[in-house]
Amino acid sequence: MTQRLRVAVATPFDERSREIVREREPRVDLVVGPELLAPVRYPGDQGGDPDFRRGEEQQRAFEELLDGADALLGVPDDDPAALARAVRANPGLRWVHTMAAGGGQSVRAARLSEEELGRVAFTTSAGVHGAPLAEFALLGLLAGAKRLPRLQADSASRTWADKWFMGQLHEQTVLVVGLGGIGREVARVLSALGATVLGTSRHGRPVDGVDEVVPTDRLAEAAGRADAVVVTLPGTPATKGLLSAEVFAAMRPGTTFVNVGRGTVVDEEALVAALDDGRVGFAALDVVAREPLEPASPLWDRPDVLVSPHTAAGGPTLDHRIAELFADNATRLLDGRELRNRVDVVEFY
């Protein structure tokens, strides 16, 4: 690697974020054509306007920018096919950083060869979403414990009900399914509030804030011991449908269920059935299996379900946090050190 790193900005990335990269790693030369990128609709709009289209001349200019870079910041057009084209057209490309925490799935979908996967390092933005998603998880857990639907119904009907007891989160046992960056942050917050935290993990190593680490193959058993379940897993072939009918059947009546990972991890028919029979008392979903959620989905009309349009991790400073991570990895690459969040090109996670 040369003493400088030429980086093509392949996705919308605001000027302040670009400044952060330059300030933290002056050896990076950012190459960007703002007119070649989709306009953003709101702060932190990483994909940009989906209706944006380049003309033929603009497309040639965009591809030339990508093809002359040592590294890409973002997957071009958030399109695996465009990523594959960029890798194959640029033998000097050494690194691609994806904006998403689950960017490994874009790499999988690009269907790159073994040689291409070995030549280019791929990293993700895992970890930068931990704090906002932990806050959404906390919102869902508190809404379930305090029986928010009942409070809203009584308020709407102007009913001053007789005394009834709310759940106390600090007295509950919460199962965090997945102990990556997001799961560890959820566990830290819950532990600080006094909850007992169980966590599932393939590696089984102790994690700060987690009272007991449970192997993933004992997920149903662990779910049966919890008052609430928080899913933080990425969407991969190994996690698809992991929250199955068997797992929901094992839950205690009234369990609070929160998903801030990926919707494909959950068998949604089993979730609806668990809501119907009361095993799940309240569900807060920032993600669903098919997005946007179809108008006919039974999840829309339920007072015991809170649907968020995959927006809990967003915000005006999200790109700034990604910039800090990217700059640190640029320094590591230039200094010959191991990159953070490198994609496993066997499991693409």
Do residues 55 and 181 both lie within one domain?
Answer: no
Backbone phi and psi for residue 326, each to the nearest 5 degrees, phi listed first: -60, -45
Backbone phi and psi for residue 327, each to the nearest 5 degrees, phi listed first: -60, -40
pLDDT tens, residue by residue, 25-76: 999 999 999 899 999 988 778 788 989 999 999 999 999 999 999 999 999 9
Q: How far apart (Å, rounded) are the C-alpha atoms in residues 85 and 122? A: 15
pLDDT tens, residue by residue, 278-333: 999 999 999 999 999 999 999 999 999 999 999 999 888 999 999 999 999 999 99
Residue 2 — pLDDT band, cuts 50, 70, 90?
A: low
Residue 1 — pLDDT band, cuts 50, 70, 90?
A: very low
Do residues 137 and 114 both lie within one domain?
Answer: no
Which residue has 């639907």 as its token pair? 149
In a domain, 170, yes or no: yes
Burial class (CB in 10 A: 0-12, 13-18, 19+), 226: buried
Do residues 164 and 232 both lie within one domain?
Answer: yes
Q: What is the CATH number of the domain that holds 96?
A: 3.40.50.720
In a domain, 341, yes or no: no
pLDDT tens, residue by residue, 164-201: 999 999 999 999 999 999 999 999 999 999 999 999 99
pLDDT at 156 over 50: yes
Supply the range of the domain harboring residue 57: 5-127+315-334
| Helix %, strand %, coil % of the chain (to 5) | 40, 15, 45
Give the list of residues 6+ apart from residue 295 with CB closer than 8 angstroms, or none: none
Give the list of residues 6+ apart from residue 9 with CB closer than 8 angstroms, or none: 18, 30, 31, 32, 37, 73, 74
Do residues 85 and 100 both lie within one domain?
Answer: yes
pLDDT at 82 over 60: yes
In a domain, 149, yes or no: yes
In a domain, 343, yes or no: no
Do residues 186 and 256 both lie within one domain?
Answer: yes
Do residues 138 and 40 both lie within one domain?
Answer: no
**Residues annotated catalytic, as ranges:** 262, 291, 310
pLDDT tens, residue by residue, 317-330: 999 999 999 999 99
* Amino acid letter, residue 183: G
In a domain, 320, yes or no: yes
Residue 315, pLDDT score:
84
Give the list of residues 6+ apart from residue 63 with CB closer than 8 angstroms, or none: 85, 86, 89
Quick one: tokens of 49?
Answer: 């306007």
Do residues 112 and 142 both lie within one domain?
Answer: no
In a domain, 194, yes or no: yes
Residue 204, pLDDT score:
83
How is residue 102 annotated by DSSP? Answer: T
pTM higher than 0.85, yes or no?
Answer: yes
Do residues 144 and 293 both lie within one domain?
Answer: yes
* Amino acid letter, residue 212: E
Residue 253, pLDDT score:
98
For 170-214, the DSSP string reads GG-EEEEE--SHHHHHHHHHHHHHT-EEEEEESS----TT-SEEE
In this structure, how many other beta carbons lie within 10 angstroms of the beta carbon of residue 131?
16
pLDDT at 246 over 80: yes
Do residues 328 and 301 both lie within one domain?
Answer: no
Provide, rounded to the nearest whole percent, the portion of the chain with pLDDT above 90: 89
Do residues 195 and 295 both lie within one domain?
Answer: yes
Do residues 238 and 208 both lie within one domain?
Answer: yes
Do residues 242 and 178 both lie within one domain?
Answer: yes
Alpha-helical runs (H) found in 51-91: 56-67, 80-89
Distance between first and last Cα of the chain: 26
Domains identified in the chain, total number: 2
Q: How far apart (Å, rounded) are the C-alpha atoms in residues 134 and 136? A: 5
In a domain, 110, yes or no: yes
In a domain, 222, yes or no: yes
